[in-house]
Amino acid sequence: MDEEMIMACEEDGTPIRIATREEIHIKGLWHETFHCWIVEIVDGTPYIHLQLRSSDKKDFPDLLDISAAGHILAHESIVDGVREIEEELGIDVKFEDLISLGVIKDQLSLKNFKDNERCHVFLYKTAHDLNGAYRFQKEEVAGMFKFDFQDFYHLCMGDKERIESTDELASSHTPSRKSVALADLVPHGASYLKQVVIRIQKELD
């Protein structure tokens, strides 16, 4: 597989130069990413879908994360990021169907891994039952779990220590239900998840 080439940028988004994904994460260069959070409305109640990352992933295997996300490559625009939804989840979503939640910065620093992202965050709100619709990219995604959005909101805001999934939208090798704490999610920057759920809540209101 060819090395991903990504446009490094300033913290304000001003392009600097093209770099490999490895260099981006070793040096902690700022770069643009696409994040899509899927919320399914069932009888008026919103449920958020969290992706279970594959055990084969180099970074953060077996943790829950954003419904679909990925890097914006050097030759791409933000609109092209919608490809991540079809590639990872196998569902056809048009960019025009997404609700922009703006840019949220996300910073993470671990040993030999520094991630400084300008995340272009989107909400895909749907009343369609997605159970059975997903076709996962096996190298990337092990499954999908559905949580009451209000429970997830309170988990991210620190009001709950643990929440239970209401349904599994995944292949049979994953547990049918999942009890999770923040430690079971990819360790995004301290304020990222709080900003995400606040902005989603505003759109749902």
Residue-wise pLDDT tens digits, 147-156: 999 999 999 9
Tell me, what's the pLDDT at 171? 55
pLDDT tens digits, 164-197? 998 666 554 555 668 999 999 999 987 999 999 9
Which of 6-10, 53-57, 79-83, 164-168 has the least mean pLDDT?
Answer: 164-168
Label each residue of the chain as H, E or C: CCCCEEEEECCCCCEEEEEEHHHHHHHCCEEEEEEEEEEEEECCEEEEEEEEECCCCCCCCCCEECCEEEECECCCCHHHHHHHHHHHHCCCCCHHHCEEEEEEEEEEEECCEEEEEEEEEEEEEECCCCCCCCCCCCCCEEEEEEEEHHHHHHHHCCCCCCEECCEECCCCCCCCCCEECHHHECCCCCCHHHHHHHHHHHHHC
Q: What is the mean pLDDT of residues 5-34?
A: 97
pLDDT band at 205 (very low <50, low <70, confident <90, very high): very high
| Range 5-204: architecture per CATH | Alpha-Beta Complex (3.90)
Tell me, what's the pLDDT at 173? 53
pLDDT tens digits, 110-137? 888 999 999 999 999 999 988 789 999 9
pLDDT band at 3 (very low <50, low <70, confident <90, very high): confident
Please give the model's pTM, rounded to 2 decimal places. Answer: 0.94
Tell me, what's the pLDDT at 172? 46
pLDDT at 37 > cutoff 80: yes
Average pLDDT, the chain: 93
